[in-house]
Structure 1
Amino acid sequence: MSPSQVAELVEAVRRADSALGLLQATQALAASAHPDGAACLVEILGFNNPGAAVAAVDGLVAIGTPAVETILSNIDGYNYGARAWAVRALAGIGDVRGLEVLEDALGKDIGPSVRRAAARGLGQLRLEALSAEERSASLSRCLAVLLDGCRDGEWVVRYAVIVGLEHLAKTWFTALQSSDQLALRQALRQLQDNPEEEAAVVQLRAALALQRLEEAHG
């Protein structure tokens, strides 16, 4: 798709005069997955239209890495809704430049769905392009905030933390320091065996993650 065609899609978003019209225009722009549409998609995150925001997040994830800088430079600290959607987009893209935002979201965000998205995103960051030293530091940061998330008050977040830990271990377990490997195993065991856990599905998911980890790494 040419830049001029993307510009037409952006203009259609600007001209939308109803919630449905905005949704349809956003879906069309998102489907282009063109970097030139990223700024407009980020702007849509701040509109009071959840359907359009979902479509915008999908579009930003489809654009991928080229959208990250636009997202980061336009995060609105005064618009909670826009920031929450931005966290979801960064989690879906998996670029390491979003690490700080995801850390902050899992540790501090008031919305369980946002913390859940951040937990999943932290487990799936793409670290291959980093130097060994940078990768080690990033892994330690991801693991630390995920381990803290094991104590989250919402079971859906604890479940997502388990998924994040499993993804992290699946890709990077051998790159973790031995102390971090031990901490990850212990966290999964504690979640599996916690007698005070209110949601059995959390214990079952922890058991599955631990089983897969032991099958892969003993």
Structure 2
Amino acid sequence: MTDRLSQLIQAVEEADSSKLLLEAVQNLADAQLEGAIPILIEALSYNNPGAAVASVDGLIKLGDPAVPALLELLDMHNYTARSWAIRALAGIGDPRGLITLLGVATADFAMSVRRAAVKGLGMMKWHWFPDELREMAQEEALDALLFVAQQDEEWVVRYAAVVGLESLAITIANRHPTWRSEIQVQFNLMGCNDEVLAIRARAWLAQQNLQQSFQQIYPNNLDIVKKGAAVKEKESPLTSDDWQNILNHLYEIKREERLSSVGEGDPRRFQDLASAIGQKSSKDNPRN
């Protein structure tokens, strides 16, 4: 452990006021040191929303190295910490958070947590997915996002669904033109019929952004090139076991769809799944 990291952690541990704790956690998050992940995770449980926000921002910046520790928080015993962890997972976009985000986006009772999960589904790192898994995962994300756009009672969550659908549409534009058209139809409906002016405006903006993005598709490339230049992305850190775990959960969702009368995209089909994931995490990763 470096001297700098030790000093930053010590400042967090010795903070004796909310203000000092916030400052200490902010400094620790700004340092972007992987060794700080356990303390940033712990800060999600503090009774200090400012420190939690700083921790989430720091964990998002650290990215995929923080994902295993975040997944350990999904035990559903400390809802506050779990909700902050979901926000961080959504911001990172790591595929290991996909199943959790699917469940939370459509079934969590907290508006702010649903909103974060919805945005996370749209910004998932789809380029990391193996080809044979990507289509199944994107189909589930599309179903969830369309359900939220059509059914969620909170306008901020529907607004986030527009943002998520726009991101997803750009990603799948050339691979799945039927899905792209389905998203565009949804935008047309929301742009004309949603009772909230901000959503109608955002839906029309999404339409415009999609039209501009579609003009930047390389004829021989399946990906959209944003801002006219290809962005080099690092390779996926996920193992074969990680992908198998994601695949197993997706198969379970499909199996439940076949056996249940609940329609696709309905949040009820995710509630038991989200609960089961939380219980499994609790058993596999007991916390003191």
TM-score by length of 1: 0.91
* Native 8 Å contact 1:136 1:175 kept in 2: no
Report whether the alignment pairs 1:21 with 2:20: yes
What RMSD over aligned residues (CA atoms) do the two structures have, in Å?
Answer: 1.7
Number of aligned residue pairs: give it. Answer: 214
**Cross-structure match for 2:155:** 155
- Of 196, 200, 203, 1:203 maps to 200
Which moves more between the two structures, 71-80 or 120-129?
71-80
Q: Secondary structure at the match of 1:47?
A: coil
Which amino acid letter does the alignment assign opposite residue 158 of structure 1? R
What CA distance in whole angstroms lies between the structure 1 residues aligned with 2:211 and 2:137? 24
Code of the aligned partner of 1:144: D
Write the deviation string for residues 155-209 of structure 1: whole angstroms up to 9, x where unpaired.
Answer: 1111110011111112332223x44233222221221222xx3211111211221
Q: Distance in 1 between matches of 2:141 and 2:29?
A: 29
Deviations along 1:39-93, one digit per CA (max 9) or x if unpaired, are 1111111111001001101110111111011111123412221111111111111
Between the two proteins, what is the percent identity of the paired residues? Answer: 42
Cα distance between partner residues in 2 of 1:85 and 1:170: 28
CA distance in 1, matches of 2:109, 2:92: 22
- Given that 2:45 and 2:81 are in contact with CA atoms closer than 8 Å, whether structure 1 keeps it comes out as yes
Q: Which amino acid aligns with 1:40?
A: I
Aligned mates of 1:8, 1:104 — CA distance in 2: 39
Task: State the partner residue of 1:87.
Answer: 86
Using the TM superposition, name which of 127-136 and 45-54 deviates more.
127-136
For 1:112-191, list aligned pairs within 5 A: 112-150=111-149, 151-176=151-176, 178-191=177-190
Counterparts of 1:32-47 in structure 2, within 5 Å, are 32-47=31-46
CA distance in 1, matches of 2:124, 2:192: 28
Higher RCO (C-alpha 8 Å, min separation 6):
2
Q: What aligned pairs does 1:74-113 form with structure 2 within 5 A after superposition?
A: 74-113=73-112
Distance 2:55 2:116 in 1: 16
CA contact (8 A) 2:172 2:180 kept: no
Structure 2 regions of 5+ residues with no counterpart?
A: 216-288
Query: How far does residue 135 in structure 1 lie from its aligned partner after superposition?
Result: 1.5
Shift of 1:215: 4.4
Counterpart of 2:5 in structure 1: which amino acid?
A: V
Counterpart of 2:152, as a letter, is D
Q: For residue 116 of structure 2, give the secondary structure of its aligned residue in structure 1.
A: helix
Compared CA separation, residues 141 and 3, structure 1 to 2 (3 A): farther
Distance 2:21 2:148 in 1: 36
Corresponding letter in the other structure for 1:157: V
